[in-house]
Amino acid sequence: MLIMMNRMQKPLHLTIGKFFPLTLQTFVQVSKAAFSYATVLKTV
């Protein structure tokens, strides 16, 4: 129980390629870019 409580005090960080933190803002930007590229490729 103490180990679990100690672990919950540290924030969880997701990283991209172990050097760039993944935040909600970067996830949204990547999603928008991927959707834009997919739309362009679909119309071609």
Q: What is the pLDDT of residues 1-44, one digit of tens each?
A: 888 888 888 877 788 887 888 888 888 999 999 999 999 999 98
The residues near 16 (Cβ < 8 Å, ≥ 6 apart) are 22, 26
Structural domains in the chain (count): 1
What are the respective helix, strand and coil percentages of the chain, to the nearest 5?
60, 10, 30
Residue 6 domain flag: no
How confident is the model at residue 32, as a pLDDT?
Answer: 97
Which residue is it, tokens 């993944």? Answer: 22
Residue 4 domain flag: no
How confident is the model at residue 11, as a pLDDT?
Answer: 78
How confident is the model at residue 35, as a pLDDT?
Answer: 96
How confident is the model at residue 41, as a pLDDT?
Answer: 94
Q: Which residue range(s) make up the domain with 39?
A: 14-44
Residue 2 domain flag: no
User: pTM for this one?
Assistant: 0.57
